[in-house]
């Protein structure tokens, strides 16, 4: 899923300095196409139901916004903020809930919308936590999965792209709060 594109120093309206953004791994067009496909798949799988989309902040906000518009069902949206990274580029393995849900999950069909699955430890914790709230079902829709990094075997119902284990930025993903507004997924080179 890699392209040979590399940021060439052309001004990008202040989006990303050349020294921080490397090869583009997933283009804007590829993201748009895959989000449409995932929306259609969720629409078919949840026909007759009203799923609750739970975005994991902050990285999944852009993916959630685009995905929700591609689901042809009544959906509700809520947000959770969890942290296992802090300001690091690798997960600490310690999960903290920074913002909890506003919605009651009892009897609800929940789809956790994640930006990226790395070790899977945060996702495993989050799934257990949500299932314990009596949700009818809890599935995951992840934009990205880093190949070979999972420490727990989590079944993912919906996956956008599998990527090498490099640290990436763009389309909601950041490095110390920067680069979320890039319309593509690229290597972070610093």
Active site residue ranges:
118
Going by their DSSP bridges, the two strands 185-188 and 21-26 should be labelled as: antiparallel
DSSP structural state of residue 178 = B
DSSP structural state of residue 4 = S
Query: Around Cβ 2, how many Cβ atoms within 10 Å?
Result: 11
**Residue ranges in 46-118 assigned as alpha helix (H):** 61-70
* Residues 134, 34: Cα–Cα separation, whole Å: 31
Query: Around Cβ 17, how many Cβ atoms within 10 Å?
Result: 13
* Residues 105, 138: Cα–Cα separation, whole Å: 10
Query: Around Cβ 23, how many Cβ atoms within 10 Å?
Result: 16
Burial class (CB in 10 A: 0-12, 13-18, 19+), 124: middle
- Residue 138: name the closest of 147, 150, 129 by CA: 129
């Amino acid at each position: 899923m890699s392209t040979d594109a590399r940021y060439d120093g052309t001004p990008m309206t202040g989006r990303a300095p050349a020294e921080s953004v490397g090869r583009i791994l997933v283009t804007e067009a590829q993201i748009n196409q895959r989000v449409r496909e995932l929306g259609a798949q969720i629409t078919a799988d949840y026909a007759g139901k009203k799923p609750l989309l739970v975005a994991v902040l902050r990285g999944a906000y852009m993916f959630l916004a685009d995905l929700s518009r591609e689901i042809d069902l009544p959906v509700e949206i809520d947000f959770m903020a969890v942290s296992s990274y802090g300001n690091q580029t690798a997960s600490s393995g310690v999960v903290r809930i920074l913002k909890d849900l506003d919605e009651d999950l009892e009897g609800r069909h929940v789809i956790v919308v994640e930006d990226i699955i790395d070790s899977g430890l945060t996702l495993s914790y989050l799934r257990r936590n949500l299932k314990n709230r009596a949700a009818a079902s809890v599935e995951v829709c992840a934009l990205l999965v880093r190949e070979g990094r999972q420490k727990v075997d989590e079944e993912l119902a919906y996956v956008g792209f599998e990527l090498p284990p490099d640290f990436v930025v763009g389309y909601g993903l950041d490095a110390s709060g920067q680069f979320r507004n890039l319309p593509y997924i690229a290597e972070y080179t610093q």
